[in-house]
A and B are shown apart, each in its own frame.
Chain A
Amino acid sequence: MSATTSDQDLFAGPGEEPAEGTVYTAMGGDWDDIVTEQHDRGDERIVVNMGPQHPSTHGVLRLILELDGETVTELRSSIGHLHTGIEKNTEYRTWTQAVAFITRADYVMPLHNELAYVLSVEKLLEIEDQITERTKIIRVMMAEWMRIASHLVALGTGGMELGATTIMTVAFREREKIMDVFETITGLRMNHAYIRPGGVANDLPDNGIQMLKDTLKSIKKQMPELSKLANANPIVKSRLVGVGYLDLTACMALGVTGPLLRAAGYDYDLRKALPYSGYEDYEFDVPVRDEGDSYARFRNRVDEMWESVRIIDQCVARLEQTQGQRVMIDDPKIAWPAQLSIGSDGQGNSNEHLKHIMGQSMESLIHHFKLVTEGFRVPPGQAYVPTESAKGELGAHVVSDGGTKPFRVHLRDPSFHQLQALPALCEGGMIADVVVNIATIDPVLGGVDR
């Protein structure tokens, strides 16, 4: 037993003050021995370090828990373990290249990151009126698919963290269909760099509408299994009902948005409050519940997915009507010069375009080269367009100094903001519920740390 406990702090750095009390290391040993030894000490206060690689933490999140028996008395989160310098990197890339970085922030909802950034850039360029109808429809449709996919991850991993692997397999089975949609349209399952300043990278492929209809049909048929499995499941309910309670007052004080706020009784949704990309033209409801616990958030996320399905239904009808419209702004000084196409090896320049610039028009080649290497200039100023992402308010504060590269990009990530609410959810509760509370906030550390 002496191998697992000692009065020396194994984790203290050279010259650092050792931590108070006994340090336990998770090296096995006989549990009874630990209990006896701890009992002799008569000290119930334990500080536990959870993470930064705990499988239930949606990434590399580290929690420092102070326990009294099995009750969490204090919780502090330590973040930054996945900091990749996305914001700094964008300052050395063109406005269009920056999308490829931004998309990697919250990797469970890459298209929402892209949309938030691109809307801010378009506001700076003052080209919002020139974005074509079809572009907006595709953006809305992709954002709603993304919302379903992100919620499915939230619910699926949340179920897995409770030990309910069937919830996970059902959720990921449905998500896989959406990943196929993304792959068909953008060429990639994740990190698409699909939504770009001025439009989207490419139009739907020829079989696009049919594929969308098939996927919708399949989702409508099979996604209810998730609700059937979990809604009235006594084990799920006993783990979620009344756990992680955050009422409306706390939500407002902490600035919590998204599914957490709506499960606390406020139907605030930026798609309704400050519509963007033409959301005002779609019919959908904002699901709201007022219990403010993990179960309400679970049910609300499921309801939101069905509202997204409703929006996608409308998008598909509109996409059929707008076939042939451009999906990129009609301003050659901004628009990406190449129409991209999806080949067997992913996204690429269309052969037509290559033939044109390489064999027919020198000027087109120069134009292509200038726009792709130098990029376009954005007039000086700053913009912030809030959007409703799957997890809450997501916006990019974008500053331009009139150059071809962003002067500053800051992502207001909802996971980053809402992880601040974790102590409010956990303190005073059981240690077993900490994992539930993380799952119910649904943070993705790629977005938190950026």
Chain B
Amino acid sequence: MTSSTPGGTNPPNPSESDRSAANDANAQQPGKDAQETKEKVPSTPPDATPQGGPEERADLEPTPTGPGSAQGPEILAVRDGMFGVKGTPDTSGYGRLRRVIEFPGPSQRPYGGWYDAAIDRIAALMPNAGQVITRVVIDRGDLTLHVAREHLLALVKILRDDAQLRFEFFSGVSGVHYPTDTGRELHAVYHLGSMTHNRRLRLEVSAPDSDPHIPSVVSVYPGADWHERETFDMFGLIFDGHPHLTRILMPDDWPGHPQRKDYPLGGIDVEYKGARIPSPENRRSYN
């Protein structure tokens, strides 16, 4: 969505020297199309985090994450090996491979485009804006505000009602379960739109697994009704103040919340011409 992207906020692309180095490393890349065109194409996807990708990074000591503790990229997990082998000796040869899963970290001012003005406006209307917005992340040109859950309702009211902000369109809320994000395992991600100013905004609110409560925004955005019910159904997030928070997609008496990461996919092994094909969740996975 390049047109919605204000200038100057794009993440850095790999420099020219990076590209040629990548191409050298990729000289054995097969395929005739690849040979013809490798001049102008980076062999790895351009990465938002400068050191991302499946590399060995023994120098980097992972720090535990907690609410508001991350200043650099947010480290979500550290993974060893290639195939998720645990406990047994790894004979794959990838045993020492170590990957740090880094989510885009907080951005620094100037954010660029309309982002600075919008955040200033929120700060002007909310004296405690520092506690409301715990982190401002601009990634791939999109603005994400991480919001403390107790202030969510007050913030969305301002976002909708203030003429300079005017996010009158509620697109939806989607849950994400990060089992490794200790203390804030359950995230609710809200997508708001401003048809007046032609802008898009993402809010991210988190709650710990032990206390999965987030205030409901149905009183501000009536269209959030079913979305919050779905997120409750699928993740067990309880939206306080929702008029009728019941399951919506699963049957009323269904145990568990199916889209949490600790809920199995299920499925049965299939036998085909003598070979046993394991169900999708039991297949070898590349982590």
Contacts and interface: CB of A to CB of B under 8 A. Distances in A.
Interface stretch (B44-52, B85-93, B115-123): B44-52
Contact of A89 (B43, B176, B265): B265
Interface residues of A, number: 76
Contacts of B126: none
B29 A332 contact: yes
A274 B174 contact: no
Contacts of A412: 171-172, 174, 191
B156 interface: no
B225 A420 contact: yes
A102 B286 CA distance: 22
B31 A367 contact: yes
A408 B45 contact: no
A363 B32 CA distance: 11
Contact of A417 (B37, B227, B234, B247): B227
B280 A92 contact: yes
Interface string A376-392: 11111111111000000
A386 B171 contact: yes
A58 interface: no
B250 A377 contact: no
A124 B140 contact: yes
Contact of A408 (B32, B176, B191): B176
A276 B11 CA distance: 19
A331 B29 contact: no
B48 A381 contact: yes
Contact of A130 (B41, B222, B287): B41
A99 B175 CA distance: 20
Contacts of A89: 265, 280
Contacts of A276: 1
B34 interface: yes
A256 B168 CA distance: 11
Contact of B265 (A92, A124, A128, A256): A92
A37 interface: no
A126 B103 contact: no
21 contacts: A80-B250, A83-B249, A83-B250, A85-B258, A87-B259, A92-B283, A124-B140, A255-B170, A276-B1, A331-B43, A332-B31, A363-B29, A376-B45, A380-B102, A382-B139, A386-B191, A397-B172, A397-B191, A402-B99, A402-B101, A412-B174
Closest 5 CB pairs of A and B: A255-B223, A363-B30, A410-B174, A80-B249, A332-B34
Given A80-B251, A332-B29, 15 more contacts: A83-B249, A83-B250, A92-B281, A126-B11, A127-B45, A127-B46, A268-B195, A330-B33, A331-B43, A334-B45, A367-B31, A375-B286, A379-B52, A397-B174, A402-B52
